[in-house]
Structure 1
Amino acid sequence: MYSHTTVGANDVSRAKAFYDAVLAPLGIEARLVFDTAIGYGLAGGPAQFWVTQPFDGKSQSVGNGTMIAFAASKRAAVDACHAVAMARGGKDEGAPGLRPQYHSNYYGAYFRDLDGNKICVCSQHAE
């Protein structure tokens, strides 16, 4: 339904090291790398998640209520992404666990990246 999603970063190299590690458990990798932007996607697929310096040249800022959610095929991948995010300096916004208020199999974790962008990783599978 969408072409891509973009979050801002003040230090693209630092953001790349963070996201390279955090997204690896989901099979998501850097597909395009530039000095001011990195495009991530599944192997062989298009770059659909972009981390970039703001185009207007101003500092990155966080949108209140804005969140990017990545799909995981298993709950273990949710756990792994959250653990890597915490180890890499991310800020916990909700430990991995079931969120039955969404539905009985919704298993998610929430964190903020190094620039304060809110990220969710979730599995909607029974395992």
Structure 2
Amino acid sequence: MFSHVTVGISDFDRALAFWRPLMAGLDQRERIIDPAKPWAIWQPAAGGRPLFIITTPFDGAAPAPGNGAMVAFMAPDRATVDRLHALALTLGGRDEGAPGLRPGYHPDYYGAYLRDPDGNKLCLVCHAAAP
């Protein structure tokens, strides 16, 4: 369904330091890291799409997170949600909802919410039942 998802950043080095370990933890491999552009692109370990991209806005204006906009990353298990949420907080992320079940979505929805250093909202989620 998706070709790529792009989020705006204001400081490439800071954003890369935040996103790089999270993408590695989700088994996404680096496709392009180009500080001169500046942008960084990740893709699934097996290749192909979808791509996840961080970049400064092409129009040169300041990035601005959307109200109601969020990117949700699927984690393979609940432990990965917990681990990456904690990691993101140490990398300058801001908590928007601790890891836990959200049965209002469905009985096995286990998610965590946070914002990156530029204010972009993200979710780490596992849809699988507990082992």
Pairwise TM-score range, normalised by the shorter structure: over 0.9
Structure 1 ranges of 4+ moved more than 6 A: none
After superposition, residues 1-127 of structure 1 pair within 5 angstroms as 1-35=1-35, 36-46=38-48, 48-127=51-130
The answer (yes or no) to whether the contact 1:23–1:81 under 8 Å persists in 2 is: no
Runs (5+) with no aligned partner, structure 1: none
Kindly provide the amino acid, as one letter, of the partner of residue 22 in structure 1.
L
CA distance in 1, matches of 2:62, 2:78: 35
State the TM-score, normalizing by the size of structure 1. Answer: 0.95
State the TM-score, normalizing by the size of structure 2. Answer: 0.92
CA distance in 2, matches of 1:81, 1:11: 21
Q: CA deviation at 1:123?
A: 0.2
Identity of aligned residues (%): 49
Q: Deviations over 1:52-104 (max 9, x none)?
A: 00000111111100000000110011011100111111000000000000001
